[in-house]
Every structure is written in structure tokens, then in C-alpha cells.
Amino acid sequence: VSAFSWEIMSHRRLFLATLSVLLLAASGVAANNTLTRRSAIGGDQRLVSPGDIFQLGLFPLANGTKWYLGIWFTVSPAAVIWVANRDRPLNASSSGTVTLSGAGDLVLLDAASNNETVWSSNSSAAAPSAVAQLDDNGNLVLADAAGAVLWQSFDHPTNTYVSEMRIGKDVGTGAEWSLSSWRHAYDPSASDFRYVMDTRGSPELHIWRKGRKTYRTGPWNGLRFSGIPEMATYKGMFEFQFTDTADEVSYMYHACDGSPPSRVVLHESGVIKRMVWDSAALRWRSFWSGPRDECDRYGVCGAFGVCNEVDAVVCSCVWGFLPRSPVEWGMRNASGGCARSTPLQCGGGAGDEDGFHALRGVKLPETHGSSVDAGASLEECGRRCLANCSCTAYAASDIRGGGGGSGCILWFGELVDTRFIDGGQDLFVRLTLRLHLQSQSRLRSLSQSSLY
């Protein structure tokens, strides 16, 4: 299916789903934003956040034959950001009741099955006086009488994250905040695609499908993810927060005051999309999606290969490397990657016989097998790489402040999933001194020719 056809089908599905939920909402009875043990909602009743930004209630899919408890944007009811019973739908809205159990858990009961518990928050601490509240950021929070959070929907994402919601990992407990795609536009059960934070090396976000990596954002560089330079254009709309401590590795964004509703969705096709609500056109506009093209497909050019979407043949080898299998490359299969044309010298541990080729404007390669030192200068990074015979490349880990950046990422082993990209970073790939000098001469020639 072409991208254009996919967009048309998506808009048609969105319209139909929006129509069904709007009809439901039109007949609904709006509740406040709080649920206690003395209250419950069911049928077409809803919790509404204080500013009427989000609503929680039962919504239909599959032509009204399946019902789910979810949270959606008030301005766009089809934009469901969270689903409770995504794997256990109700057969009718009239049979579903959302309430608080005697132990203080938030539960969804099915009256058609003798009030069987279809879904429960399963909070760890019993709190008979607990209350559930839907906040204006879309978070459903279960808290005890003292206000301590017992459970919150933001800790259990489905296929969407919104402002103030984390994607990442609690290092201490091992808990993950990740996305899993819907199985189909009419089936929110967890499907094959997952969007997770990978904490090996320099942390970055990956999309996986059935244990196979399909896309990566590139590591965080202080301002944005290396492979998403578009993030720099969101100034004034979003502020980004990246946490990398001994306790937590996570990423979130904050919507600036006055910004329109926004969401990031892992689509059932395996594409992650950032969308912003256009109030004039009454539709969601896509600001960015990944993978965006052939070069975003993970590992398409193999080890020490570099991808360039504007070239007729997208894959080439880094300077100083040659295809491992020229026959395969001739058949447009570059997954076998490249190998050095000349072995590194690495003499006496000082590295006098080696140098570097500057690969300008790239998405940094896979950071597995890398080390990070945020306190080192870029110059120190190069010296450390030359002093270690296993080091193959280095780059700045933080590009804030200009001047080439600061901090240090050192790669040990193969460089995988590198691509040229507008607004990309500089990667310094280790070569023998002879190839390094040839590389410098070539760069000078290119620079001089651009003056005429």
C-alpha cells in the first residue's frame, strides 16, 4: 500500500471512529474528574479533566461490538491515548462499570458476567479511602487519603505518549515505560511493534518487531536525538527533558503554554509519528515520523556502511573501507557491510600511526559496545580513542554550546546504522595515518572547489 493510500485509509478510519464516539459523547452524561468508592461510571458516563482536555469512559470499536475503557482528547474523541482492557473487551457498554474496589483498586466490572473483574489497576498498597482522578495532562491517578500516588496510567502506556509522560526505564526496579502498537485500527490489543528505551551504551529509543530491531532514533546529544534533527524546529511548542541517572533513564516532552494538543503514536504499521492538532482544520497534522525513508531502516548498509537517501545507490562504505561482498553490493544488498582496506597500526599504544576521517553530518551509529564520558572534551575523546587499539570511532556526546560539542562517546567494534542526515553530527572514524592524510587532503580539495 502506498504512503498516499495509507493516509487516505487512515483518515477514513479516523472519521468513522470519530463519528461513532462523537455520537456516544453527544448522549453522554459528563461527570467530574474524580471517582470515589461512593461513585461509579458506566454506559455513556465519563470522567472529564478539570479543563475539559481529556475524558475517560467506555468507547466502541469493531462497529460497536467491542467496548473498551480508555482516555481520549475532548477535541478529538478518536484520538485515544490509553486503553485499560485492551486485551479483554466488553460486549456492550451497558454491562461495564468503573469503580473502586474495597481494597482501593480501580476496577472495570462486567455485569454480563456476574460483575467479573475485566481489568484492575492492581496497585501494590491497599487503600480503602483511595480516589481516582483524571488530570488535565491525561494522567489517571489513583491516590490515597494523604495524596500519595498508588497507581497512575502514565506508568502503563499503550500505543501513545503525551506531554509529561515518560518513555524509559526505572534502573532500580527494572520497570519499563514503553509503547506497544495496536493490532489493528479496530483492535487495541498489543501487537508486534514496541517502542522502548535502550540503555546499553548511550541511551536511545528503538522500535522492535518480534525481537528484531527495525528503527532507532540515535543517541541523545543534549538537545535532541541524533537521528531526529527535526526536534530543533519545535522550539516554542515543546520542551524536551532527558534523564540519565543511576536511578532512571527516560525521555519526556512538555507542551509550552498555549501549544495545541499533541501526541506521539506508535502506529500498527510500525511507524512512530508525532502529531499536533490543527484547530482550524479540525485534524491532526503529522510533524515527524520514523522510519522516514530507506536509510532509517535499521542496519540497511551493514557494518561500516553509511546510507545517503539522495544518492541513486543509497549505501556506500566509510572512507578507508570496501564492501565485504562486491557481488552482493552489485545486487543492491549492502547488509553484509564493509571491511577495512588497510589494517590499523596502533603502534606502541600511543597511536602515532593512526588518525581519523571526519564523517560530517550523520546520525550517530548504534551505541552498543560504546562508552560515554560526559566530562571529557572532544580533543580528549580523540586521544583516548588513539590510545586504545580496540577503539574504532568517537563523537561528542553533547552538542550544546557549539564548538564541535563536548563529552565523549567512544565506539569499540563495528559501526552500524550510520546515515547522512540534514543537521547531523560529526563522527570521527579511526584510520591508518596514510588514509587519514588522504582523507584530510580530499576534504581540503572539496572545500576549495566549493569556493568557485
Q: Where are the domains of the chain?
A: 1-152, 157-292, 296-449
Find the length of the chain. Answer: 452
Residue 451 pLDDT:
33
3-state secondary structure of 17: helix
Query: Which band of pLDDT confidence, cut at 50, 70 and 90, is reported for residue 4?
Result: very low
| pLDDT, mean over the chain | 88
Segment of 96-105, 132-141, 424-433 carrying the highest mean pLDDT: 132-141
In this prediction, residues 135-140 reach a mean pLDDT of 98
Residue 438 pLDDT:
64
In angstroms, what is the C-alpha Rg of the chain? 26
In this prediction, residues 125-149 reach a mean pLDDT of 92
% of the chain beyond a pLDDT of 90: 76
In this prediction, residues 208-236 reach a mean pLDDT of 94
In this prediction, residues 253-260 reach a mean pLDDT of 95
Q: What is the DSSP letter of 364?
A: P
305 burial type by CB count under 10 A (0-12 exposed, 13-18 middle, 19+ buried)? buried
CA 385 distance to own-chain centroid: 30
In this prediction, residues 367-384 reach a mean pLDDT of 92
Q: Is the per-residue pLDDT at 21 higher than 50?
A: no
Residue 452 pLDDT:
29
**Picking from 61-65, 125-129, 161-165, which range would have the lowest pLDDT averaged per residue?**
125-129
Residue 124 pLDDT:
72
Residue 404 pLDDT:
74
Residue 345 pLDDT:
82
Fold for 1-152, please state it: Agglutinin, subunit A (2.90.10)
Residue 16 pLDDT:
43
Q: Is the per-residue pLDDT at 17 higher than 60?
A: no
Residue 30 pLDDT:
46
CA 437, CA 432: separation in Å to the nearest integer? 9
203 burial type by CB count under 10 A (0-12 exposed, 13-18 middle, 19+ buried)? buried
Residue 26 pLDDT:
39
C-alpha cell at 308: 545517503
Residue 31 pLDDT:
55
1-152 matches 157-292 in fold: yes
Q: Is the per-residue pLDDT at 192 higher than 90?
A: yes
CA 224, CA 79: separation in Å to the nearest integer? 26
Residue 353 pLDDT:
72
CA 258 distance to own-chain centroid: 24
How many other C-beta atoms can be found within 10 angstroms of the C-beta atom of residue 264?
A: 22
Residue 369 pLDDT:
82
Q: Is the per-residue pLDDT at 160 higher than 60?
A: yes
Fold for 157-292, please state it: Agglutinin, subunit A (2.90.10)
Task: Identify which has the larger pLDDT, 350 or 421.
Answer: 421
In this prediction, residues 356-367 reach a mean pLDDT of 95
Residue 352 pLDDT:
53
- CB-based contact 72:79 (threshold 8 Å): yes
Residue 403 pLDDT:
67
Q: Is the per-residue pLDDT at 8 higher than 60?
A: no
3-state secondary structure of 264: strand
3-state secondary structure of 296: helix
355 contacts: CB under 8 Å, gap ≥ 6: 430, 431, 432, 433, 435, 436, 437, 439, 440
- CB-based contact 426:361 (threshold 8 Å): yes
Residue 53 pLDDT:
97
Bridge partners (DSSP) of residue 146 are: none
C-alpha cell at 236: 516554542
pTM of the model: 0.87
Q: Match 473502586 to its residue by C-alpha cell.
A: 100
- CB-based contact 337:301 (threshold 8 Å): yes
CA 229, CA 232: separation in Å to the nearest integer? 6
Residue 346 pLDDT:
81
- CB-based contact 142:129 (threshold 8 Å): no
Query: Which band of pLDDT confidence, cut at 50, 70 and 90, is reported for residue 351?
Result: very low
Q: What is the pLDDT of residues 27-51, one digit of tens each?
A: 444 459 999 988 899 999 999 999 9
Residue 161 pLDDT:
97
**Picking from 32-41, 256-265, 289-298, 427-436, which range would have the lowest pLDDT averaged per residue?**
427-436
